Structure 1
Amino acid sequence: MAQSQPVDVRRVAAALGSRSVVLVGMMGAGKTSVGKRLAARLGLPFVDADAEIEAGAQLTISEIFERFGEAYFREGERRVIARLLNGGPQVLATGGGAFMNAATRDAIAAGGVSIWLKPEVEVLLARVRKKANRPLLQTDDQEGALRRILADRAPIYALADITIESRDGPHESVVDQTLRRLAETLGGAPEAGPEAARRRVEVPLGSRAYSIHIGPGALDTAGAEIARIAKGAKCAIVTDANVAALYLDRVRLSLEGAGLAAAAIVCPPGESTKSYAEFARVCDALIAARIERRDIVVALGGGVIGDLAGFCAASLRRGVRFVQIPTTLLSQVDSSVGGKTGINSPHGKNLVGAFHQPSLVLADSGVLDTLSPREFRAGYAEVVKYGLIGDRGFFDFLEARWREVFSGGPARAEAIAASCAAKARVVVADETEQGERALLNLGHTFGHAFESLSHYDSARLVHGEGVAVGMACAFRFSRALGLCSGQDAVRVEAHLASVGLPSRIRHIPGLDADAGAILAAMRQDKKVERGRLTFVLARGIGESFLARDVDEAGVLAFLEQELALAPD
């Protein structure tokens, strides 16, 4: 077997510039042992964040937890890591929970290259059993606790720039692997900004698991990435006329360069493309292109193309593989992930479809610069949704950094990756929307009704705008029911307004519908069960829940009150 070329460690260290190498992962992952050896190879100092915290507090981590609680420790941990990252290039080992904090992740993205050390669970368990000082494992069922913590944290760890699948063996082999990956990522190039480092989020669904690649240039590497999972496959690119003019040639050249034959099927742009007629036309075109079960349907475009192409892939020959290449913010953070596919009916949105997971998602963050401000805002509504559902800290981050998300840079990449990780976590827990996954529909019961009553006219209302109004309505309705504080409802509306999104029904141009008509449109929502409405409501920001059997009289009264509000 040919030996891999040795890594030029000096070039790797030079390419790091002022950035640090930050090791993240579970307790027992070997961050300290690997970190010391890696630092020695790179000629950098090694720092253990936990050791710094203990030295500063003159207490052990366990004692800090016991005396002051986890929240106090996490805030102190955040401050210590921020200080260390400002101290020049180093190899920094962080505690197991540090990367869960959005502000800490943002600081690491700005000042370092993050590496997730990911040993197998059995290896972790064997290591942590040797130590009795793990505060979160003070239980008789250490294995169960460890597995629960890992399941919760893995989608966030996967946001790291590099993932190292380490085995139970010599630490030097892990160091060698880490250096090779650093060399590949940095390329020995001059210091680059955090946006240049790609991110990867895993969707662990067993035999149907797939990766989400996030970063600039994903269009140009599409052929190589698809060839890894489908060598020699035929591909059919489904796109729309607008996206085709911008990106079809780039993707086709990338596919052909990787030895993949590529046909193209171009659809009209707009929501009306999610129709029975286009579904039939695209399916027939795929059959004519001789796409077979082991071939690949490539969805190149926004949510409309992703939903349509995915449904065609799910139906053709009872299921062929497909790859999502989303080109809008909305599709990158929402519709491309999770396997929901479908078309619209005259009776409502997305009423005909199937669950069909993609084999790969390639989200090129560079293409977002070509979006109109309105399109970007509409996608941002879905980003906000993830904070409102279950991550108040992420909503705080968006309130503070939304301008950078809009203009580009580390905050944009962080927001996209965090959104994908949040959705992946929910999809893994409830793939076919029998329970928890329905939380992703926050604002959608209202929003889909508004879209239907606007006849899916994108000149008046696009999906993200409908969701924005719907989320604001959901929080105001929750306030009206006594579930949510008025302060949180006001914060939601204020943030949506600050980025230029609509937040009231009267903000929808030309919507001439009374409360009864809106309620009737809601009854066509997919979440209706035996004629009873189901809403996603909230007890506060980051505390959404599924409410079944909501009283229709209360909904009607709320809608009448909303319609009576002035637009501003």
Structure 2
Amino acid sequence: MHANVEADPRATDIVRRLGGRSIVLVGMMGSGKTSVGRKLAQRLGLDFVDADHEIEAAAGMTIAEIFAKHGETYFRDGERRVMARLLAEKQRVLATGGGAFMLAQTRDNIARHGVSVWLKADADVLARRVRKRTNRPLLHSVDPEETLRRLIDERYPIYAEADFTVISHDGPHEIAAETIVTTLASGLSGISRITPQSHTATVRVALDARAYDIVIGNDLISTAGERIAALFPQSACAIVTDDNLAREHLPALEKSLDERGIRHARIVIPAGEASKCWDMFARVCDDIIAAKMERRDLVVALGGGVVGDLAGFAAATVRRGMPFVQIPTSLLAQVDSSVGGKTAINSEHGKNLIGAFYQPSLVLADTQALATLSPREFRAGYAEIVKYGLIDDEPFFAWLEQNWRGVFARGPELTEAIRKSCASKAAVVARDETEQGDRALLNFGHTFGHALETLTHYDSKRLVHGEGVAIGLACAMRFSARLGHTSLAEAERVENHLRDSGLPGTIRSIEGWNAGADEILEAMYQDKKVQRGALTFILARGIGRSFIARGVDAGLVREFLAEELAR
């Protein structure tokens, strides 16, 4: 700690009572968050970071340039992700951009990881401070001061939700920092969530000697070292992750491993479906060996489905099999690909055609990691949750129809939806681990979805896996209705729910789609469920009543696809 911290016992006490949480400064542009934040960090002996500076460094351009090139929506999504990463990394003093606190998801994230302080200044003070600055894109208007007053009217009622309010006057920044110290010293005891209890849910995958737990809850990445050390004492680990997650979540995981004295190596791959290929598989295997990982050391997959599938396949093959821990960071991976032991890479002929069944020893589904997901990625994961209701649980589908907004708002409904999905998949896996029977039901919608992914060449700009699944779910229900297995009303109910939650339901919704029915049918013949050249589909006799339909007539499929392409 700095010498001035030692001279002020209040600083030591504040840091102790924060319990590892950050101090987050919020307020309007010109309220002094950066300058006051630096002074406050010095007083408390903490690091300081400015979220706007982090965004600019990551983008390689100024905020004004980001606004000009990509627009405010793009900037706000990046700001949300950066805030989630900074809050999860470590305790610090953090200055936010003026609009960051306006997003409910970020406010909730700050409430979990920090204590918020609003630096409140009146309009005249703010106007004097920002009048001559050119780096404020929201003030590039005909009447900047009128724009400033409008923003004050919009934002101050939200800023008032901060834990503490400190008036930002004209004068030395040291005075504002001292006021914050005094405020925290007297007020922290009133913040009951400073030391929150960890609420987790655990689902057991019952596979006899190879049984394992799926742990679902907040902040599991930052405590992963404790769980790994208990399960694999004296083992080292190779962490496989992608270049996005290496920035967002890897520091917290490595810190947790360091605290437990676990030797670790990082293997970082490019983000995206294209990494599920032979070349990347070979590189990951070689890097695990080069890191001097032994047979009883473990592979940790930190990422979404791509990382989990690739790392799991490597773990299954390097040294003829190494222990494997899944830390899924996407909603799709948490409810589907991280559970059940399917590992694979893609072939040019189709998705997931090269792989192995290889169960993990532990799955840690950190719901806090989902804060860094883009809205599109989150929606894509939700498609897999809907799937579980369609397979064999109509009450769960009905629950989703009533509660999907709470799931998307990251409320307690999210943890329940993940828990329910994992429990559904765990039960199927326990009955049929290697997909010799009803585990194939878990592929509901996937025969269509995988074919669409193949024909878009896994281009995530056009189609991500969960979107392909959503279209596949709607197609499977409509195909079931066309064949007389279910009613058109049931199919429309599913399509309506997918649409309400922002997911696509038709093939033509894919950007730039130009493949015909014959091409889709040909891609379907590469599906893993094809047996002796006969098509197999998962169809439904109603919501929650799926079944395996073998030997489906290709002519009927072609006719249905032609109708779908005409929608």
TM-score range, shorter chain: 0.5 to 0.7
In the alignment, is the contact (CA less than 8 A) between 2:387 and 2:444 conserved in 1? yes
Counterpart secondary structure, 1:496: helix
1:253 and 2:255 correspond: yes
CA distance in 1: counterparts of 2:338 and 2:195, whole angstroms: 26
Q: Deviation per CA, 1:529-555: give whole Å up to 9, x if none.
A: 111110000000000010000010000
What amino acid is the match of 2:469?
A: V
In the alignment, is the contact (CA less than 8 A) between 1:195 and 1:215 conserved in 2? no
2:291 matched to which residue of 1? 289
Q: Shift in Å at residue 510 of structure 1?
A: 0.9
CA distance in 2: counterparts of 1:222 and 1:191, whole angstroms: 22
Q: Deviation per CA, 1:185-238: give whole Å up to 9, x if none.
A: xxxx95899995111110010111100110001001100011111011011100
What amino acid is the match of 1:487?
A: A
What amino acid is the match of 1:238?
A: V
Matches within 5 A, 1:112-511: 196-511=198-513
Q: Shift in Å at residue 294 of structure 1?
A: 1.1
CA distance in 1: counterparts of 2:306 and 2:472, whole angstroms: 20
CA distance in 2: counterparts of 1:520 and 1:194, whole angstroms: 54
In the alignment, is the contact (CA less than 8 A) between 2:474 and 2:506 conserved in 1? yes
Q: Percent identity?
A: 62
Q: Shift in Å at residue 280 of structure 1?
A: 0.3
Q: Shift in Å at residue 514 of structure 1?
A: 0.5
1:561 and 2:563 correspond: yes
In the alignment, is the contact (CA less than 8 A) between 2:249 and 2:369 conserved in 1? no
Counterpart secondary structure, 2:533: coil
- Structure 2: give runs of 5+ residues left out of the alignment: 1-190
Q: Shift in Å at residue 399 of structure 1?
A: 0.2
Counterpart secondary structure, 2:513: coil
In the alignment, is the contact (CA less than 8 A) between 1:194 and 1:409 conserved in 2? no
Q: Deviation per CA, 1:365-414: give whole Å up to 9, x if none.
A: 01111110000000000000000000000000000000000001211110
Counterpart secondary structure, 2:351: strand
Q: Deviation per CA, 1:303-357: give whole Å up to 9, x if none.
A: 0000000000001011100100000000000000000001000000000000000
Q: Shift in Å at residue 268 of structure 1?
A: 0.4
CA distance in 1: counterparts of 2:248 and 2:413, whole angstroms: 25
Counterpart secondary structure, 1:469: helix
1:544 and 2:528 correspond: no
Q: Deviation per CA, 1:245-268: give whole Å up to 9, x if none.
A: 111111011012112101000000
How many residues get paired?
Answer: 377
Counterpart secondary structure, 2:249: helix
Counterpart secondary structure, 1:431: coil
Q: Shift in Å at residue 446 of structure 1?
A: 0.3
Bigger drift between 253-262 and 437-446 goes to: 253-262
- TM-score of the two chains, using structure 2 as the length reference: 0.65
Counterpart secondary structure, 1:221: helix
Counterpart secondary structure, 1:239: strand
1:3 matched to which residue of 2? none
Question: Structure 1 segments of 4 or more deviating over 2 A?
Answer: 189-196
2:532 matched to which residue of 1? 530
In the alignment, is the contact (CA less than 8 A) between 2:240 and 2:268 conserved in 1? yes
CA distance in 2: counterparts of 1:293 and 1:341, whole angstroms: 19
What amino acid is the match of 1:498?
A: D
CA distance in 1: counterparts of 2:466 and 2:197, whole angstroms: 25
CA distance in 2: counterparts of 1:532 and 1:402, whole angstroms: 37
Q: Shift in Å at residue 503 of structure 1?
A: 0.2
1:516 and 2:524 correspond: no
Counterpart secondary structure, 2:221: coil
RMSD (CA atoms):
1.5
1:291 to 1:193, Cα distance in 2 relative to 1, 3 A: closer
1:502 to 1:192, Cα distance in 2 relative to 1, 3 A: farther
